[in-house]
Structure 1
């Protein structure tokens, strides 16, 4: 989703098929991870 920051919470939840009170189901988590990648930050190199 582009410009998610400019959308309402309801619009973002609907776009991703998320229930506001329950969050993502296990199958949705797996599906989203394969579509969008895992939710991890890249490691920074040590200075």
Structure 2
């Protein structure tokens, strides 16, 4: 039972780490896209 609990615990930890990393990547990507769009819009307005 302890082994199963430990396995589930490690699995949840890895899953949360993976999703957290994915969310971080998504946020970084969104920030990059937003910044690039801003630069392009400023270039057009200039």
Q: Under TM normalisation by the shorter chain, which class is it?
A: under 0.3
Which structure has the larger Rg over C-alpha atoms?
Answer: 2
Q: Which structure has the highest helix share of the two?
A: 2
